[in-house]
Structure formats: C-alpha cells, structure tokens
Structure 1
C-alpha cells in the first residue's frame, strides 16, 4: 500500500513538472536588452557593499525599487527594512519584491512595512494546476534601482551570513555590481516586469521611472532569463572562447550540453578554470558537482576549491573580451528553473579588475587533483549518485 502511494506521488510530481515546464516554455519570451554605456563598480565584500547601498538608499528622493531572493529575519535585515519604512514615511515610493520561498520576513514585519507605506510583495507563489513546477521555478534575481538613476545587481542577498557574520560560513565572498548610466533603465524595466508579474500592476507608462541617463564608460548589457535560454547563452559564450574560460560559481552542475561545450573548448586548446567553494551551504549540492570534475580534469581543466570562507560569486569570463556577473549559478536550477539576471561587460579595464579579484580568490584556494577524486570513500561516492538523481532541483 505504501509503495502504491509513493508511486502515485512520484507519477504526479513527474507529470506536474513535465506539463508545467511545457506550459512555461510555450509562454516565455527571450529578452535581451541593448548594448549600453554605463559606469560600473564591483563589490566583493558584503560590509563594503551594504555601507554603500544603505547610503544610496538614504539619499533616494523619488522611488526605491528592490528585488531580493532572500531577506532574512536578523539584525541586518531589520536595519534594511527599517530604512525602507523610514523612506516610505518621508514620501518616497518604496516597492520590495521578495521570493516566496526565499523570504523570511515575518508577518508582523510585513504589516509594519505596509502600514508605513512600503509596497511589499511575495513573488513566484506556487500556482495550480502545476503546483510542483511553480514551487521550483523561483525568482532568483537581485535588483535595486534608486530614482531610476542608480542600480545594483549581483549575488548578495540580505542576511548576516552575506556580511560574514555567520560562523557556519565565515568570510563570504560574492560579486555585486553598482551601475549608473544608461544600463539602469534596463534594470528598471526588469523590476517593473517582475512587479507586474507578481501584482498585475503595470507601471511602465510612468515617465518618472525613466529619467534621462548619461552614457558611462563601460559597454554592457543586461540579460534576463526566465527559466529558459540561459543554457543557449552560456553555450554561445563558450563557443566563442579562443584562449581561456574562467567560471566562478557556488554550485557547479552544468548539465550535459554545457559540459560538452566545455570539453569541446578544452579540445580546441582553451584553458578552463572552475572556481567553487570547498564548503557547502546545502546538502548534496557539492556532491552533485563531482561527476563533472573527472572528465574536465582529464581534458586539462583546473578545479579550484575556495578555502577562505564561502564562495558565492557568479562570474564567467571569456578570454579578455567579456565578463558576466549576475545572479545565475552554473547549475541546472539556474539553467532550467530560476528566473535570473546577468550583466555582460565588455570593458577590458573592468575585466582586468575582475580578473585581479579572481586571482586573489584562486590564491585562497586549493586545486583538486585526480588523486583526490580516487581517494573519495564509498560513502562519498554513494552520496554523489543520490545527488546526481536530485541535481535538477538542488
């Protein structure tokens, strides 16, 4: 009887996911904003980022538009939410969209936010008839726009661990961008798109959200993906590589097609470096990466394990001509489920700056060897097998 019930549940989940995915792909559109000129600043330390972020938040005069995947219920989150309440009470329009799964904002705090005038919304709530699929298709974007003139996008969420204050993870390494100039309008458009999706309120016609913006120094473009098209984006980039590919990601589960793309690049003589954390923040997710390591290493790739703390950066560099920093991990969840946003940057000076940070990260890492893989225990290899089965949802 128990077996029959489990079989029914399994079949329901499989059918729900397959039909939900098909329904999603029939509706989703590929969106890619134009090439823009912007000024871009990179933050790799949470304390520095949020000091700058909170200063800009305090100076906002007209509107504050924010998406985070996670807002925790802790001291830094309380500071953040209190600042939003204060700005709303000053007459600034404040909109905060947080993912339904990622949000840890209490019901009491939500009431206080709304009472103060903050427009608070939970995004990507599970929906019938495809409950299991929509439960897994998360809004993983992190976007902020102040007054339509200053934008932020990258890997940091709001919580004490992102400032290195959680002893479980220690120092937290992440990459986040501050943007001013033409590219901010595209972050604004993406925010308004997600806000409309969550609330059915269309704000695109309000001109105050799109002030005139000066051109900046760096060529860049904003690339959103909605649980589709990220794989083709990554493959296009990999196929253009002539000398070197560098990937930084907390989770490395690229799937068969992207994996084959990397192996083909190695055959062409392209160097491939993969930087991942030695410490895992989720069960199974690190083990799910191991089946990909041996073929890559045998073909000449370097796998580097970050030791200084937790590595959460999402960075992808092709030769010295393109750098991608955003919210997408190099894993199946970002490739096929999550709604992400990346920023492609084509400024050689900025790219060298980012490569300098990556070299610092590599200096705080150890290189995995084939001998290390051979030493893995039977228990570890068994966990790899289980993780591989679950890898699509990790």
Structure 2
C-alpha cells in the first residue's frame, strides 16, 4: 500500500485537489455571488491545480455574512448609546441641509438606514493636500494632546517620518497620556526594537489580524485599510495618507506622491472614535472601559460643515461606501470628478458612470499613469474603453503617483477617505470615508482635481482602440483576475 502511494503520489494529489476544487465550486455556486467573480473562481480552481485552491482559500471566503467580529460590546456601552442617541436621525437635521442638498439628501438617508451613521452638523474641516502638509498638522496636534491619542493605520513604517510619529507617541505615553495604536500586520513594517520602545513607554499597540510571512501576503484578504487618528476626542484625521516616508515628497524621493487627507474638529470626531474603539475591542484582549472623556463636548466657532463618517468592511451588513458613491453618481445633475489610484470597479459603478456620461453629465476620472501594481494597471485599462465610448473623460496622472481617493459631485457633495474605486475596497477590506455636504469644501476638492488634471494626460478613445494586441492580451489576462485582486 505504501509503495502504491509513493508510485502514484502525484495522481493521488491531483485527485484530492479536484475533489476539493469541486466542493469549492459547489460552494461558490450556492453563494450566488457576482457571475463574473463566480466564473473567475471556477476557472482558477479548474485550470490551476493547487494554486487555485490556495487562491480560493485566501480570497474566496465571504465574511460579510459570517462576520469576522462583532461591534456589540462597544456599541452596547451606555455612553456610546447616548452618543448615538444624541445624533439620532431627525427631520430637523435634514431640514438644515435640505435647502441646498436637493437630491443629495438621499445620500444622508441611505447611510443612516444602512449603518446608523449620523449626520453631524457642527464641524470644521481642512482638506490637506499631500503628506508634508498632513504630517505638519498631525505632529503638531499629537504634541499638544492632553488626554489620549488613538491611531489606526494600514501602513506604519519604521522610517524617518514613522520614527517621528512613534517617538511622539512614546513621549506622550511617558507623560501619562493614554496612547493606543492599531497597525495592519501586512501593510506595516515596525522593527522589534521600536515595538519594544513603544511597550516600555506605555504605548498600547496591536497588529490587526496578524499573519505569518507578511512579506508574501500583500493581497491577503480582510486587511484594515483605514488611516485615522483621534486626539483627545476633539480632533480627527482621515484620508489616504499612511505613515511612511514615500508620502512626504522630499527631494531625495524617486517620485512625487499626490495624496489627500483631512483634519476634522467637531461632532464627526465622535463617529471616528466609535469606529476606533470597535476595532480596538477586536484586536486587543482588553475590555476597554469607555469614558465620557473619549467624547468631549467641542465648541466649534464657525463650524457648520455637515459630515457623515462611513465605515465599510466584512463587519458591516452593507457595502456602505460603495452604495453612497453609486447613489451620488446616479443622482448627479452637473458633474462627477473622481480620483482613485486603483480603478477596478464592479458592474454597478461602470453602468452608473456610463449612464451619467451618456445623459450629459460631465464625468471625469483621474488614475495613475504609472501604477505600483502591474496587474491593477492593466486591469484598470481594460475598463476604460466602455467609459470612453460613453463619453467619460479619463486622465492619467503623469507627475508621479496619484494615491488620493476623492470624489466631488455638483459642488455640493464630496468624499475623502481610504476607499479605492475597486472591488477590494468595496467588499473586502476595512475602509472608512468622510462624506461632506458642503459647497465651500467641495469646491476646494474640485479645485485640487482641476489642478491634478493639468499634470495628467487625457486618454484618447481612438488611440485606446488602436493599442497593440499584446496590450489587449495583458489587459484581458489581468481583468480575469480583477474580481480577486
């Protein structure tokens, strides 16, 4: 028997592989997921023995229905309940913004119905263009902190800017402040020495969903892609800028990094705080006591910007961020300007953009000319033809790498956050966006978009159609993988 196994080991492994593959295919069918994604998994499982099973194991598990973690512990806290009650959705709230929101008021209602995300009215915000501006503000606010500091980032690197930020955290913890740090285990690179320094200084820090061999798991599913900071419960940061030197655009960097972040003072910081505490409850063994000092009253002079904070991920019942973006597109009346570093959209977004453009809406999209992902670059290109044909204007940023994740519609609605315009952000990763209902701030984001257009090359439809067959082949290959990347 042993000799038979040795002689036929590869045949037996192939048989086992296809038994498991058939089981996986049946499971995929029963889930009734997107047909394109279903077909992609079937092709991978059938035509790529062993590798197909690995891909399905890493990327094929659906956790939106089988939640990775529950937020009930934090959300059931009486203080948090009172905060949510304070911002309960009311006709009075909507009336204050309905006079200029028009159809955009649907976005407010949609997000509240999907995830109980309140509309906050007393806020002051600042759009931060690029990393040097963001870190100047962030370091200043961290040094002025008086009670607590909460940071949650996809990438924290132990480089120059990373050490500056982490050193301030250590100093503040040693001074008696409560400092908590969440970093994604795949995205971040923090040395053992720095982790020891954080611990010895009193900084509480935890990785999000640790994995083995993180260098080889860059696309591991269910990563915490959020980039937020909360200082004293009064100041919040959210956007696309991680903590790493490449975001600084110093003279010795290889390429310019174009990104957008935002600084918030006001009621919306309470929503950021609740999301942070929910994640902290998941990553730590600590049953954190929630104090009123986490949610201080903030008196904002001239603060009247209406905001909603939207989180999305396997812990939410709905794809909140994608649904609001989709609704913003289909309710647009004048223009839609989108900037995203990774454009691998689902069918709903593609169709919505096509219909908007064909109905006379000025639809423009900025993506990188040079991407940091070969597969994403060619997968993105494969979607451009359908958009260009419908009249969408596509631009490729050529000054460096555009990493900003922004959208502005009709001078009324805009968003800054962590979510890319791709399947992974919409359905898999943990993301967080700020939705802004304000003309002044939306016009600032529009201004930045138009400035970025000046550093971009317009994609010509005829030139696109005449690209080489080899380019088309690469695009088709990468698009095949697009539901999985």
TM-score normalized by the length of structure 1:
0.92
Task: Report the CA distance between 1:198 and its aligned residue.
Answer: 1.1
Tell me, in whole angstroms, the C-alpha distance in 2 between the residues paired with 1:104 and 1:273. Answer: 36
Name which of structure 1's ranges 63-72 and 314-323 shifts more when overlaid on structure 2.
Answer: 314-323
Tell me, in whole angstroms, the C-alpha distance in 2 between the residues paired with 1:126 and 1:56. Answer: 32
Match of 2:66 among 6, 10, 24: 24
Match of 2:120 among 36, 42, 46: 36
Task: Report the CA distance between 1:78 and its aligned residue.
Answer: 1.3
Task: Report the CA distance between 1:191 and its aligned residue.
Answer: 0.8
Task: Report the CA distance between 1:200 and its aligned residue.
Answer: 4.2
Tell me, in whole angstroms, the C-alpha distance in 2 between the residues paired with 1:240 and 1:204. Answer: 42
**Aligned residue number for residue 309 of structure 2:** 222
1:138 equivalenced with 2:223 (yes/no)? yes
1:98 equivalenced with 2:183 (yes/no)? yes
Name which of structure 1's ranges 363-372 and 91-100 shifts more when overlaid on structure 2.
Answer: 363-372
Task: Report the CA distance between 1:266 and its aligned residue.
Answer: 2.0
Contact residue 332 and residue 361 of structure 2 kept, 8 A = yes
1:233 equivalenced with 2:317 (yes/no)? no
Task: Report the CA distance between 1:317 and its aligned residue.
Answer: 1.4
Task: Report the CA distance between 1:183 and its aligned residue.
Answer: 0.9
Match of 1:67 among 145, 152, 160: 152
Secondary structure, counterpart of 1:381 in structure 2: helix
Tell me, in whole angstroms, the C-alpha distance in 1 between the residues paired with 2:329 and 2:287. Answer: 37
Q: Deviations over 1:182-204 (max 9, x none)?
A: 11111111111111121143436
Question: For 1:350-365, what aligned pairs fall within 5 Å after superposition?
Answer: 350-365=441-456
Measured on the aligned residues, the alpha-carbon RMSD in Å equals 2.4
Task: Report the CA distance between 1:13 and its aligned residue.
Answer: 4.1
Name which of structure 1's ranges 230-239 and 196-205 shifts more when overlaid on structure 2.
Answer: 196-205
Task: Report the CA distance between 1:49 and its aligned residue.
Answer: 1.3
Kindly indicate which of the two structures has a greater share of residues assigned to strand: 1
Question: For 1:283-294, what aligned pairs fall within 5 Å after superposition?
Answer: 283-294=374-385
| Unpaired stretches in structure 1, ≥5 consecutive residues | none
Cα gap change, 1:65 to 1:276, in 2 (>3 Å):
same
Contact residue 171 and residue 310 of structure 1 kept, 8 A = yes
Tell me, in whole angstroms, the C-alpha distance in 1 between the residues paired with 2:358 and 2:148. Answer: 51
Contact residue 32 and residue 224 of structure 1 kept, 8 A = no
Contact residue 59 and residue 220 of structure 2 kept, 8 A = no
Tell me, in whole angstroms, the C-alpha distance in 1 between the residues paired with 2:139 and 2:116. Answer: 29
**Aligned residue number for residue 85 of structure 1:** 170
Q: Deviations over 1:168-192 (max 9, x none)?
A: 7512111100000111111111111
Question: For 1:85-164, what aligned pairs fall within 5 Å after superposition?
Answer: 85-125=170-210, 135-164=220-249
Contact residue 306 and residue 366 of structure 1 kept, 8 A = yes
Question: For 1:375-386, what aligned pairs fall within 5 Å after superposition?
Answer: 375-386=466-477
Q: Deviations over 1:240-293 (max 9, x none)?
A: 111211110001111112111111222322221001111111221111111211
Task: Report the CA distance between 1:231 and its aligned residue.
Answer: 2.8
Q: How many residues align?
A: 390
Kindly indicate which of the two structures has a greater share of residues assigned to helix: 2
**Aligned residue number for residue 340 of structure 2:** 249
Contact residue 148 and residue 232 of structure 2 kept, 8 A = yes
Name which of structure 1's ranges 179-188 and 163-172 shifts more when overlaid on structure 2.
Answer: 163-172
Q: Deviations over 1:37-85 (max 9, x none)?
A: 2100011121121111101111111100001100123111111111111
1:344 equivalenced with 2:344 (yes/no)? no
Question: For 1:5-16, what aligned pairs fall within 5 Å after superposition?
Answer: 7-11=49-53, 13-14=55-56
Secondary structure, counterpart of 2:375 in structure 1: coil
**Aligned residue number for residue 258 of structure 2:** 173
Cα gap change, 1:310 to 1:13, in 2 (>3 Å):
closer
Cα gap change, 1:162 to 1:15, in 2 (>3 Å):
closer
Contact residue 230 and residue 269 of structure 2 kept, 8 A = yes
